[in-house]
Amino acid sequence: MASFLFSCSESEVTLDTDRLGLHYFPLEVGDYRIYDVEESIYSVLGVTTENYELKEYVADSGLNASNNLQYIIHRSTRLNDTEQWQLDSIWTAQKSTSIAVLTENNVPFVKMSFPIEHQIEWNGNSLNSLTDETYWYNTQLPDTTLLDSLYQDIVQVVQNDRGEDILGLENRSEIFAPNVGLIIKESVILKYCQVECSTEKEIQSGRALTMTLKSYGKE
């Protein structure tokens, strides 16, 4: 009996986890991804836009307080490739056969739910104290080319598609590629002026962020 239970080969185990979709959220020490970032901050005074590079590097791994394996991700920025990387923040990530969790500035978000299926929904805030938010998969995307690299079988996680109303605008999504991870992140959250506004849909505050994968690999 024991020999039967543990007779699965490594390739069969990999195939099973790939069928679930775990390879869309790869986690190995030494992995890195570099993104081109455009970030705009809105206020009553106008908008300020910055362009820079962001590097996410899986620096280490270890057991957390719950005795689960977690990975330490160093996030560094620079204005361009002529400058040295400057550490911006440290996040953590972990995954199981059911979910992938990314802890951003001490707030855990359920980034992915497994298995991956079109329009499957889950609560991205189920592990934090924020208001429930429904994430869902869009698996019906065309192949995407970024900087001459073709990404196929990509999956979009729609985090919020509320769109626009009289209060503001909010759309947030992330696109993942197999064995690569996040390749595109788009987030727009704008709050419109409600009282004594000079124009219709005057932006009172907000932030728009676009991250596009530039390169990835292992160090």
Q: How far is CA 115 from CA 8, 68, 84, 120, 122, in A?
A: 20, 20, 39, 9, 12
| pLDDT band for position 15 (cuts 50, 70, 90) | low
Residue 5 has what pLDDT? 41
Residue 189 and residue 116: Cα distance in Å, rounded?
27
| pLDDT band for position 64 (cuts 50, 70, 90) | confident
Q: How many CA atoms lie within 13 A of 136 on its CB side?
A: 10
Residue 188 and residue 205: Cα distance in Å, rounded?
11
**103 neighbors 91 (Cβ within 8 angstroms):** yes
Q: What mean pLDDT is predicted for residues 180-206?
A: 92
Q: Tell me if the pTM is above 0.75.
A: yes
Residue 4 and residue 123: Cα distance in Å, rounded?
37
**160 neighbors 172 (Cβ within 8 angstroms):** yes
* Maximum C-alpha span of the chain: 76
SS3 state at 26: coil
| pLDDT tens-digit series, residues 19-36 | 899 999 999 999 999 999
Instruction: Assess whether pLDDT exceeds 70 at residue 215.
Output: yes
Alpha carbon 26 to chain centroid, angstroms: 12
